[in-house]
Amino acid sequence: MNETDALRHATPPLVAALDVTAKAGLVMLLVMSLLYPDLGNVEDKAAGLRAAAYPMLAFTVPLVWWVFWRERASFPWVADLMITSTCFTDTLGNRLDLYDSVVWFDDLMHFMNTGLITAAIILLTMRHSSTLAAVLERSLAFGVTAAVSWEIAEYFAFISKSSEKRHAYADTLGDLALGSLGAVVAGVVVHGMWRRGLLMSAAPQLEPYVPAVRPAAPSAAAG
């Protein structure tokens, strides 16, 4: 890659700054929600589970990169920001009481956050040359699984113990539909950006390791 291409595909410093800021904000909000559940608006909303799961999710990419990729690829800031954003926006939404005060906010979170984390997985696990069909297959496989897993965790964490249990079925179906749609939109958008030459350095695109072939030793008969 020449210098012009390197500059074109370099991750903007703003993305890295947003990622670090989102991680710091997430940790701060989670600590606040544990110390002051009423202030964080997470009382009876599995504050402890969120405090354990969200840092694990937000710091998974840095950990995996440090252990496996740092010698072969630059840090995937865009994909990491997408994953961190899903945790940060959910926590911030609870802190600002948006889930209870804005009727459509929960629907937006299911659509947007499933889409963001699906886009991150596509960037981290697929090549730029992948076909749209392959990208959509990965989007649905991961996105729907993630949406179902979230609904199961949400039910057992706090819905099964609250008055919302009576309406949980209808709400769950809507959340699953929005999450699946978000995953599909994410796949289409990422593939479209790849076709335009964008997001080319958003994640490690590692070539398979090919062991070096040693030259054959000269035979004794060679003169």
Question: pLDDT of 20-50, one tens digit each?
Answer: 999 999 999 998 888 887 766 666 666 777 8
Flag whether pLDDT at 7 surpasses 50: no
Q: Three-class SS of residue 74?
A: coil
Using one digit for the tens of pLDDT, what is the confidence trace for 186-201? 999 999 999 998 887 6
pTM of the model: 0.80
Q: Would you give the DSSP letter of residue 25?
A: H
Residue the block writes with tokens 């210098």: 3
DSSP string, 185-209: HHHHHHHHHHHTT-STTSS--PPPP
Using one digit for the tens of pLDDT, what is the confidence trace for 56-66? 999 999 999 99
Inter-residue contact 119 to 190 (CB < 8 Å): yes
C-alpha of 29 from chain center = 19
Flag whether pLDDT at 122 surpasses 60: yes
Residue the block writes with tokens 């060679």: 222
